[in-house]
Chains A and B, each alone.
Chain A
């Protein structure tokens, strides 16, 4: 679904992606893990044509959309029709209601009116915004905005869902509901690619985890294997410094707990 080869992106003097290689296959629930500033958002924005990497290649659904600094906009538009994207930080229109917002988004896909209304109702129900459907988004809490952003990503019933830190800022109930929605996507045979800097977010939902550190993919495996590998390395007494690049990423929020287990 997504294939990235040797992607290089430099912002002025910061090398955000340093020859990144990554593949997300059909039906995978792929957790893209890495510490803050590792290049997760940069990777995601590149797959959508929102920023311009300097080198490399990107394929979406088997079609090359980017090569050596240039996007093929025609192919990109075709691919985007099958993608749902939830950005890391975004505000939509404060003066609209969720129903109006989703209606605008649906129009970008040319979804016919009758189907549109049905779909919007389903989605607001799914993300738990049914009661707030006629309220202005400007008055929404952070969590509610997050839910609306997820709803807009699902409006076209996408084959590929790309989510940038979707669970950051949600409360535990919100996170549980979010994971349920992702599992729902898996049951429907969809592909999900989502990023996080917290291990707990990818647990219980992802079948594959890739760890990005300083613009390179360091590890890619099932979550269980990654954890096992971490413990093995710890057991062979590698210094913290040596394993640090990916442990910090993998362990994220719960490094203290695991640390205690492994040393105890």
Chain B
């Protein structure tokens, strides 16, 4: 709930800035702005902690003990929690995107182009956020309580920053960054692809996804994180 509210709020806060971008560069400028400035940075900061405390708090406050004393399997609890978290992420991302698309249309952006970019960006954003969620699950499988939460916030900062520091130029970053499972970097790259102002020529979303392994990197680490979290949860002491 809080997540959804925050997502909507962020979208609104940045309408002004987006107006400027749109005035200067049109739809691509608009998307460039929102991709790199907000979605890539802010939403993961909500989603990663969400994942990190989701199962952990259920163990801490005892909800999981009540539920699993009923004729349910551990698998049912894990999947149920995961599904409800994913739908929260989905609703948040959708609201966020809907606000932006509506605003772009309000500014007079061409309908089909806006929808196309919006949809492509929306699905990438969703996959990235789910990956952050899964990373949060992974963290909570090894760390309980505040420690997990802190670590998750640290990680949200540290991973992208260290990667940006390692790569010598944006061009290399754009080609290689997607190999690092960090949604922030994926957003940066995506942002560059639709931007007319960065050093890179604007690229269609399809081409970005055609970098070898890009789509896989949005999905495979997610699956790995979730698998490890599940294996750990399956044999965890729930007290």
Contact = CB atoms under 8 A, between A and B. Distances in A.
A77 B76 CA distance: 11
Interface string B36-68: 000000000000000000000000011101111
Interface string B59-90: 00111011111111110000000000000000
B66 A85 contact: yes
B172 to A, nearest CB: 46
A48 B69 contact: yes
B70 A80 contact: yes
Main secondary structure of the interface of B (DSSP, over half): loop
Contact of B69 (A50, A51, A73, A92): A50
B106 interface: no
Contacts of A92: 63, 66
A34 B2 CA distance: 43
Interface in A132-154: 149, 152
A243 interface: no
A50 B68 contact: yes
A81 B239 contact: no
A91 B74 CA distance: 19
A175 to B, nearest CB: 22
A191 to B, nearest CB: 16
Contacts of A50: 65, 68-69, 237-239
Contacts of B74: 73
A105 interface: yes
A109 B69 CA distance: 11
Contacts of B73: 73, 77
B63 A51 contact: no
Interface of B: 61-63, 65-74, 235, 237-239
